[in-house]
Amino acid sequence: MLPGGSRHTFTGSSTRSGVAMPRRFLQSLFPACEGRAAFGFAAILLMLATGCVAAGQAAPVGASASAEPLSGSAPLASTLLPAVEVSELEIEYPDASLTVTLYRSGPLRSHAPAIVFLPGLMAPVDQYDSYARALAARGFVVAVHEWYSPFTSDVELARESRIMADWLVDTLHVDPQRIGVAGHSMGGKDAILAAVTHGGFSTVVAIDPDDAGEVSVVRGQLAQLRAPLLLIGAEVAWRASSICAPMETNYLRFFERAPVGTVELTLRDADHVQMLDEPNRFGYGICRVGTADSKQVHDTTLVATVGFFVQHLEGGPVLMKSPAVHGAIRVAQAPRPIRSSNALASAS
């Protein structure tokens, strides 16, 4: 059992630009098409792009998806959304302590689903504020890891994500069977590492993960992952600095060795930071090579992240129309068995 942390609640409401983002999404909930069944996440993304498709239709490998703009006829457009409470917590454990930003909506209910979110290297928590708020408004308890320095190792970050999950279970009594982990860049890589090496995470979302560093998840633990995995990749991130997910360590390398069933969503013409709440903030220019609209990249990433967790942790999906953006979807398939020359000869 981990000791509980001291709680410091923010007063008032935040005025950061990312706060309004979840409202636009949650007011654009896309109801399941009448007479159509809900099905796999890859097909759901295609539904976001094309409207209703035949029940049970799967997304082919490499299928291209181009989403429609919001129609403005959402059924919840006039519905009040739950307020999201944001708190800062200090989690103490045997050899150190960890600051966590906690997001939740309404009274805390026992056995709620939860998400542990790992930012990218040196990225502040507020760059992922819209993601945490959107998830919290959907009923998840969301714990976002604090800013961390280049001296933080992959092993350390993965371990701390497990500490966060244990604290959520021991102190807030979230459902231990419904905890997901997500992350961006190094955080995306270590979300996978945590799910494999520490267990306890039943769904993983890796946003433009980067396998750089002393520990390689791609060549090591990735093949052992048993939880559903969504890889969201920025197509042109590799054209920027080598610290912005270069080709040799980017999301494509993860997909090459990903378990069967892994979903890959490639964001066309997007770079490594366009999914952040404020990609043009000072210091991020080194990664800014994408020609896609940053708002569309961010919004699509957020919709996909929330949708994947809703499907796997809440028995969803909740279907939401996505802003217009060009993307491509692939689903990892089992390798086809190689037939021997003798078998081919006998078959002929």
Note whether 33 and 51 are within 8 A (CB): yes
Residue bearing the bigger pLDDT, 161 or 51: 161
pLDDT per residue as tens digits for the range 210-227: 999 999 999 999 999 999
Sign of the alpha-carbon dihedral angle for 333, 204, 320, 178:
positive
The reported pLDDT for the residue numbered 107 is: 83
- The CATH homologous superfamily to which domain 23-55+67-331 belongs is Alpha/Beta hydrolase fold, catalytic domain (3.40.50.1820)
- The angle, 0 to 180 degrees and rounded to 10, between the axes of the packed helices 129-137 and 294-314 is 40
The reported pLDDT for the residue numbered 348 is: 55
As a whole number, the mean pLDDT across the chain is: 79
pLDDT at position 184 over 70:
yes
Domain borders along the chain are 23-55+67-331
pLDDT band, residue 195 (cuts 50/70/90): very high
Using CA atoms, how far apart are residues 300 and 137, in angstroms rounded to an integer?
17
Nearest 5°: phi and psi at 328? -135, 140
Which segment of 37-41, 92-96, 162-166, 272-276 scores lowest on mean pLDDT? 37-41
| Percentage of the chain exceeding pLDDT 90 | 65
pLDDT per residue as tens digits for the range 85-105: 999 999 998 888 999 999 999
Can you tell me the mean pLDDT for 171-184?
98
The reported pLDDT for the residue numbered 49 is: 40
Can you tell me the mean pLDDT for 3-21?
33
CA angle 53, 55, 58 (to 5 degrees): 75
Can you tell me the mean pLDDT for 26-38?
33
